[in-house]
Amino acid sequence: MKNKDDFNQISYQTHEKHFCDYARGGKKAKHAKTWFEDDTVDAWRHKRIYKSLDPLLKAFPHASWLTVGDGRFGNDAHYIQERGLKVLATDISDVLLKEAKEIGYIDDYSKENAEALSFSDEEYDFVFCKESYHHFPRPMIALYEMLRVAKTGIVLIEPNDGYVASTFLDVLFTNFKDFIKNILYKNNIKHGFEQTGNYIYSISKREIEKVALGMNFKAVAFKGIDDYYVEGVEYEKATKNSKLFKQVKIVIGLFDLLTKLKLKQSGLLTAIIFKEELQPHLKENLLSDGYGVIVLPENPYL
C-alpha cells in the first residue's frame, strides 16, 4: 500500500463490491431476502433500535430525511418512509437500492460516498446513519459531511465505545470482561476489524459532545441500546414458541439490567446532534423516551 489514499480507495471499493454477493443471482441473495421480512427475530431486533427515531419523527412530521450507509435495500429509509415522511436512501453501493426501488420498498435512492456527499448545505432536515459509520475509513469526515447537509440535526446509531468509561464500575467491568475474553480467545479484543477490512470505529458521548461544541451547535442527546445477535435470527420467526427468540430476549434483558445497574455500558449508542435550540416539548419527549439531553454552553467569545 503506497499511501493513505490507496487505503481509502480500497476501502470504498471493498464495501461497494460487498453488496454484489447479496444482489439477485449472488451467492448470498437468499440471505439478503430475509432483510425484507418484518416478522423474524432479526426484524424484531432492528425495530427495537429504530424506535430511537420515533420522538423525532413525531415532533417533525413534515421533515425531510437522508439516510447514509443504507445499502441493505434501504431498510433505514423504509422505516422512516412507512411513517409518512420524505426520505432519500444512500449508500456507496446502489446494487440493492435499485432492487428496493423497483419493488416499491423505498421511494428513491442515490449512490453516495458518505465522506463526500453531493448534496447542498442544509438540504435535508435530518441525516440518519445506523451502524454504518464504523465502516468508513475516515468516519469523522463523514460526520462533518452529514452535519453540513443537515438543517436541524443528525442521528447516529453505532457501537458504543466501551473503553471510554464514565464510572469506576465501568472500568472494573470492562477489565474483567477483557480478562475473560483473553483467556477464552487468547487475542487482543480492544480493537476490532471486520471482514470487509474496516476498523470498527465505535463512538462515545464525549466524542460527539466535543464535535457539537467545536461547531457551536446547541444540544446533544444520547440513548443507550443493548442488542444481541446470534446466527439464525434472520430465518427464525419471532413467535412465543421460538427458543431462539426467547434466548435473544433473555440475553438482551440481562444486558439491560447490567446497564441499568451501571455495571456495563450499552452496546449501542444513539447520538443526536441538534444544530438548533431545542423546543421544550421536544426535550420533554426525548427525556420521556429515555434519552439524556445536554444543552450545550454558549461560546463566550463569539
Q: Show the 3-state SS of the chain.
A: CCCHHHHHHHHHHHHHHHHHHHCCCCCCHHHHHHHHCCCEHHHHHHHHHHHHHHHHHHHCCCCEEEEECCCCCCHHHHHHHCCCCEEEEEECCCHHHHHHHHCCCCCCEEECCCCCCCCCCCCEEEEEEECCHHHCCCHHHHHHHHHHHEEEEEEEEEEECCCCCCCHHHHHHHHHHHHHHHHHHCCCCCCCECCCCCECCCECHHHHHHHHHHCCCCEEEEEEECCCCCCCCCCCECCCCCHHHHHHHHHHHHHHHHHHCCCCCCCEEEEEEECCCCCHHHHHHHHHCCCEEEECCCCCCC
Each residue's pLDDT tens digit, 190-227? 778 887 888 888 999 999 999 999 999 999 999 999 99
232-244 average pLDDT score: 97
pLDDT reported for residue 47:
98
| End-to-end CA separation in angstroms for the chain | 44
Indicate left, alpha or beta for 218 from its phi (over 0: left) and psi (-120 to 50: alpha).
Answer: alpha
Indicate left, alpha or beta for 123 from its phi (over 0: left) and psi (-120 to 50: alpha).
Answer: alpha
Query: How, if at all, do strands 150-159 and 124-130 pair?
Result: parallel
Whole-model pTM: value is: 0.91
Query: How, if at all, do strands 86-91 and 109-111 pair?
Result: parallel
pLDDT reported for residue 28:
95
Lowest mean pLDDT across 4-13, 116-125, 174-183 = 174-183
CA–chain centroid gap for 78, Å, is 15
C-alpha angle with apex 288: 84 to 211, nearest 5 degrees?
80
- List domains and CATH numbers for the chain: 4-162+191-227+266-295 (3.40.50.150)
For residues 75 and 131, the answer to whether their CB atoms sit within 8 Å is: no
C-alpha cell at 153: 440535526
- Per-residue pLDDT for 4 more than 80? no
Each residue's pLDDT tens digit, 38-70? 999 999 999 999 999 999 999 999 999 999 999
pLDDT reported for residue 1:
43
- Per-residue pLDDT for 187 more than 60? no
Average pLDDT, the chain: 91
- Per-residue pLDDT for 108 more than 60? yes
- Per-residue pLDDT for 178 more than 80? no
Each residue's pLDDT tens digit, 74-100? 999 999 999 999 999 999 999 999 999
Q: Which residue in 282, 268, 272, 260 sits closest to 222, CA to CA?
A: 272
- Per-residue pLDDT for 5 more than 90? no
pLDDT reported for residue 272:
98
- Per-residue pLDDT for 14 more than 70? yes
Each residue's pLDDT tens digit, 120-164? 999 999 999 999 999 999 999 999 999 999 999 999 999 999 877
Indicate left, alpha or beta for 262 from its phi (over 0: left) and psi (-120 to 50: alpha).
Answer: left
Phi, psi of 134 (to 5 degrees): -75, -5
pLDDT reported for residue 196:
83
CA–chain centroid gap for 267, Å, is 11
